[in-house]
């Protein structure tokens, strides 16, 4: 009888522990909420030293260069390569009438000249483009 009680008690404790752990994982999935203010007076830079951000007075900037050398593609490559005169040339582009719409963890960025980009917030200071490239900022979100 004591063995059955001990076994049942141990089984119940293990069950409670497992449920507790799985609930913690459910609530801590690492999901982040995108907010337009993340881009205000803020720059995000990827490993290829391409930068996007600083939404000021409905303008957004893109800085960087594009090189055809073997490296991972970014969402900014096509935009930068269309305006640079040669491979590796640094460019600074300003897009007017920029608008950032957010839904969940996604940023949808549009602006003049057909600019249309989608990013996903994957950390407090990290966004990811559609190519899977991460962009980092030194500043924490204001909200």
Residues of the chain with pLDDT under 50: 2-13, 15, 17, 19-29
Q: What's the token pair of residue 66?
A: 């594009």
pTM of the model: 0.74
Q: Cα(51)–Cα(72) distance, rounded to whole angstroms?
A: 15
> How buried is 32 (Cβ within 10 angstroms: 0-12 exposed, 13-18 middle, 19+ buried)?
middle
CA 9 to chain centre: 45
What is the rounded average pLDDT for all residues in the chain? Answer: 80
3 state DSSP class of 82:
helix
Query: In the chain, where are the structural domains located?
Result: 1-30, 36-136
Q: What is the pLDDT of residues 71-93, one digit of tens each?
A: 789 999 989 988 876 667 789 99
């Amino acid at each position: 009888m004591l063995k059955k009680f001990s076994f049942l008690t141990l089984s119940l404790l293990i069950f409670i522990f497992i449920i507790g752990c799985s609930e913690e994982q459910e609530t801590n999935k690492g999901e982040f909420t995108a907010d337009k203010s993340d881009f205000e007076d803020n720059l995000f830079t990827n490993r290829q030293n391409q930068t996007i951000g600083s939404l000021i007075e409905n303008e957004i900037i893109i800085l960087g260069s594009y090189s055809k050398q073997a490296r991972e593609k970014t969402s900014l490559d096509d935009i930068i390569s269309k305006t640079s005169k040669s491979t590796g040339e640094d460019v600074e582009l300003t897009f007017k009438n920029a608008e950032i719409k957010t839904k969940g963890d996604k940023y949808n960025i549009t602006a003049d000249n057909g600019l249309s980009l989608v990013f996903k917030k994957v950390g407090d200071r990290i966004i990811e483009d559609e190519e899977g490239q991460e962009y980092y900022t030194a500043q924490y979100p204001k909200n």
